Amino acid sequence: MKKTFNNLFIVLIMSIGLQFSAATQDGWISLFNGKNFDGWKIGANASSFTIVDGSIQVAGPRAHLFYDGPVKNHMFKNFEFKATVMTKPGANSGIFIHTAYQEDGWPSQGYEVQVNQSHTDYKRTGSLYNVVDVKETYVKDNEWYTEYIKVEGKHITIKINDKVVVDYEEADVDKREGDMKTKALKAGTFALQAHDPKSVVLFKDIMVRPLTE
């Protein structure tokens, strides 16, 4: 009986180890469990974010959903980030990096990476907003695609479905005007944007791979 118990214990430990390995395969760590907002924090207009079929649905007045979980104590400097995204027609959203939680308003820290295939704003998906603006549309509404962001030192790379659309070296912050001077690489968390009530966007498979700092 004791031998059988020991064997079962070993199998259980191996199973847990395999599950953990799968969750962090190749260094990628999931930030969203597909069930609830554990590890995330919402300020004003929290109803703009809901869980739909394992995805985060963004639909409502301006709001921002900030990662506030245990991974790196939600403080990222060098990393790779990716999410699977779908926009509905006319939708506008964004993914913020190196930002910090705030209760309301547009995030004052970090960069916004644009999510927009057909909104009236000409700055399309993959734009490093107001810094390197992408005018081409690389994906369609109502289709899932991958949005990838890499920050290493002062360098930002953005890919849409594995295609590089931004390759930027930060060197001009002191020449910027207005609030753009505060939107620079330092360190911080991620945030998803609810832009306006008519913009409906879905996010899933939200993952990060921390890099050496």
pLDDT of 171-181, one tens digit each?
Answer: 878 778 887 87
SS3 102: coil
Residue 49 CB burial class (10 angstroms; 0-12, 13-18, ≥19): buried
Share of the chain above pLDDT 90, in %: 80
Query: Is 42 found in the same domain as 11?
Result: no
Pair 161, 140: CB distance under 8 Å: no
Domain interval for residue 38:
31-210
Closest by CA position to 66, among listed 18, 99, 115, 44: 99
Within 10 angstroms of residue 55's Cβ, the number of other Cβ atoms is 20
Q: Give dist(CA 39, CA 67) in Å, integer.
A: 6
Pair 135, 121: CB distance under 8 Å: no
Q: What is the tens place of the pLDDT at every residue in 31-40?
A: 999 999 999 9
Query: Is 147 found in the same domain as 170?
Result: yes
Please give the DSSP secondary-structure letter assigned to residue 11: H
What is the domain count for the chain? Answer: 2
Model pLDDT, residue 15: 44
Query: Is 59 found in the same domain as 81?
Result: yes
Q: What is the tens place of the pLDDT at every residue in 5-62?
A: 445 444 444 444 444 433 467 999 999 999 999 999 999 999 999 999 999 999 999 9
Query: Is 103 found in the same domain as 186?
Result: yes
Query: Is 64 found in the same domain as 113?
Result: yes
Model pLDDT, residue 22: 39
Pair 41, 68: CB distance under 8 Å: yes
